[in-house]
Structure formats: structure tokens, C-alpha cells
Amino acid sequence: MSWIRARRRARPAARHGVALTALALLVGGCGVLSTKEDRNRAEELAEQVYPGELRVVGARTLFPADSGSEITFALRDDPEAFVRLRVDAERDRCEGGTPCARALREARARGEAAAAEWRLLRGELEHCGYEVHAVRVTRDAVAEPWISAPLTDRNLTEVLDRVGGCLERYSRALPPGARTGRTAVNVNIAAPEAVRSLPRGKQGDPVLLRKSAPELLAALASGPSHAVSYAWRAGAVLPRSGTPRLVLPFEERQEFVRAVHASTARWLRRTHPQAQVVEAYSGVWTLLPGRLDRQRGYVLYCEGPASHPGHRSTGGTRSPRADRCLGNHAVAVTVDLRGRLLDEPRVERDVREGRGPLNLPPLDG
């Protein structure tokens, strides 16, 4: 460390680069070694608890590096299920402190339960004619399946109700323990052309591992899609409760929000010349019932620099944070997919008190 201190006095700028490089090499080196050790420990553990039944198909270092590694197993008798276990060989612990044998048994039970739910969900959706292209796997459940369908204004309600019926049957077939604590089920619907050349994943990996791969989910999220939320009541999905919203990639969404803000600002200036639209608020946008080309949402604004609260520093000048307009009024707008106003906007005043939370009324209010 003495050579770093010497360079610190001589060249401060270079000091930071060298120190960060050295730290990155140190952490990276440790991470590689610890992951190898963690993988070896996981393989030994698997042979002790489930001889011949599990094989390691992946390992990655957790952050921070001293918290161990995440080891992924395939089950030799189930080509669809996978098991994930956090292992810290240096501390001889798993899942943050659980004895490793017990942690592996619990991880396998979770993995088998997820695979069973995946087969149930896939089966119901395929029975309705929808292939499941991808799915998100959480620690406790399978969620947010991706399907594809050519949505139009004419068939939107029909498709949503059909998918809802499939999800209702899926929800009622779940084990009782998996039917509690849920409030909604979300389904992502991509255009048919968006699923024609998706990443296939590593050959030989469990099906559910490939269907939940980050690169697959990223590919599907790289274009426009529709996310549909179905309400969950009394342990089952309500089949006709599907509420869709348009999901855009980041740059396209930013372009849409900028267009909405510009359209709204022009409208506001007719009666509120000093109005300031809150550009930092992108809003929550919902599709109009039965329409794919109409969205509703809120735009926040302040009437001018003097209309929103702030505070003065001890020197008597207003701080930059206090000058930032958070939006104490809102405009409910209906726009097309290019962000252009379609109907007469509705002003909602005093939706925020001071610098407190928003209190927006329902859009259809």
C-alpha cells in the first residue's frame, strides 16, 4: 500500500485509476476463486444428499463477492426443473446461514414446485392455443408468462377473456398453499413477429431455466408489447378482469412522454401562461377499454415558480431543490400513440400538498 500512498501525493488523478483497477482485479480474482470453491462444495453436497440425482449447470458469483455464489442444478429425472442454491464454501453455510443439507432440500422442493406450476400454466395456455415463449421465475412462484397474439381493436376483448379463462383454470388447479396471498396474475402479449427469432438458450439446460433466461426476457422486452393484469379473488383469477397496458422500450417510452408533455403544455398555455409541466413525471398510462390506440394518464404541472412550496436557506436564497416543480396540479389527458391530445383535458387541482405524496383521483372520475 506504500506505493499507492506515494502516488497519492504525486498524481491524484492517476491514483484513483490505479486504486480502482487494483480493487477490481482483487475483487474479480477473489470472485473467480470463491465461485470455483462454492461450485465444488455444492457438487459434494449434492452427492451427499441426493447421490446421482443433481448436476451443476451454472454458477455465478453473488455481490458482494464475500456472500458466496449462486449454484444452479438440473435434476436428472426431470428435464424441465432446476434448483438454485446460494453457497458460501468459505463460511460453510448456504442461503445466508441455513445448514447446507437442509437448504438444498428446501431449494429442491422449491424447484420442483416451480416446475409443477410451470407445467400447469403452460398446459392451460397451450390448451387455449397460446405457446408460452418465456416466463419469470421468482423464489416462490412462476410469474408473468409471455405469449403472442395479433391484437386488434376488434379482437382485444375476446383474446383477453379467452386468456383469462385459461388462467382461471390454472389458478383453480394450483395446490391450496399456492393460491393464497396473490392479488393479480400478469401476462405479457407480444406480436407474432416478435417471437420468430428468440434466443434458444443453452442446449441441455432444463426447459424452465431456458424459458426464464435473462437474455430471452430482454429480447422480448426490446420491442413494444402489452401487459395484461388479471385480478385474483378468493383464490382464483377473475377471467373477465383483464386490464391491458402498452409497454414500450425505454427510448420509445421517453419519446412518447415528451410528446404528451409538449401537447399538454401547449394546451395549458391557453389559460395558464405560467404553467410548468413536470418533465420528471412520466405517468402511468392505461389503454381505453377496447382500444389499442388510445391511452389515458396524468400530466403534472405547477402554475409558476411562485405556486409551488419551497424553503429558503439561512442565507435567504431559495435552494435548487425547493425551486424544482414537483407538480401540485394535474391534467387528465387522452392521447394517441404519438402523444397527441384527442379529447378535452380535465384539470385536477391540489393533487399534492406541499412536497408530500400525490393524491390523484381515478382517471374515469
| Same structural domain, 18 and 68 | yes
Same domain, 314 and 257: yes
Residue 273 inside a domain? The answer is yes
Is 213 within a domain? yes
The answer to whether 318 touches 312, Cβ cutoff 8 Å, is: yes
The phi-psi region of residue 339 (left if phi > 0; otherwise alpha if psi is between -120 and 50; otherwise beta) is left
Strands 184-190 and 142-148: parallel
Domain contains 357: no
> 235 and 258 in one domain?
no
**11: number of Cβ within 10 Å:** 12
Helices and strands in the chain: count of H runs, count of E runs: 8, 15
Same domain, 195 and 268: no
Is position 123 within any domain? no
DSSP H or E run through 56: strand 54-61
Same domain, 163 and 237: yes
pTM: 0.83
Q: What is the distance, to the nearest Å, from the Cα of residue 267 to the centroid of all Cα atoms in its chain?
A: 34
321 within domain boundaries: yes
How many separate domains does the chain show? 3
Instruction: Point out the domain boundary residue: 197, 215, 243.
Output: 243
Instruction: Label residue 286 exposed, middle or buried (CB < 10 Å: 0-12, 13-18, 19+).
Output: middle
Q: Does 120 fall in a domain?
A: no
- On whether residue 104 sits in a domain, the answer given is no
Distance CA 74, CA 82 (A): 5
- Model pLDDT for residues 348-362, shown as the tens digit of each residue: 999 998 888 999 999
pLDDT in tens, the chain (365 residues): 433 333 334 444 444 444 444 444 444 444 455 899 999 999 999 999 999 999 999 999 998 766 899 999 999 999 999 999 999 998 889 998 899 999 999 999 999 999 999 999 999 999 999 999 999 999 878 999 999 999 999 999 999 999 999 999 999 999 998 888 899 999 999 999 999 999 999 989 999 999 999 999 999 999 999 999 999 999 999 999 999 999 999 999 999 999 999 999 999 999 989 999 999 999 999 999 999 999 999 999 998 764 444 433 333 444 445 567 789 999 999 999 999 999 999 999 999 988 889 999 998 75
Say if residues 332 and 322 touch (Cβ distance below 8 Å).
no
pLDDT of 195-248, one tens digit each? 999 999 998 999 999 999 999 999 999 999 999 999 999 999 999 999 999 999
Residue 138 sits in the same domain as residue 197: yes
Picking from 297, 289, 292, the residue whose alpha carbon sits closest to that of residue 333 is 297
pLDDT of residue 128: 96
The domain of 8 spans 2-98
233 & 153 share domain:
yes
CA angle 135–137–141, rounded 5-degree value:
115
Helix axes 156-173 and 100-127, enclosed angle (nearest 10)? 140
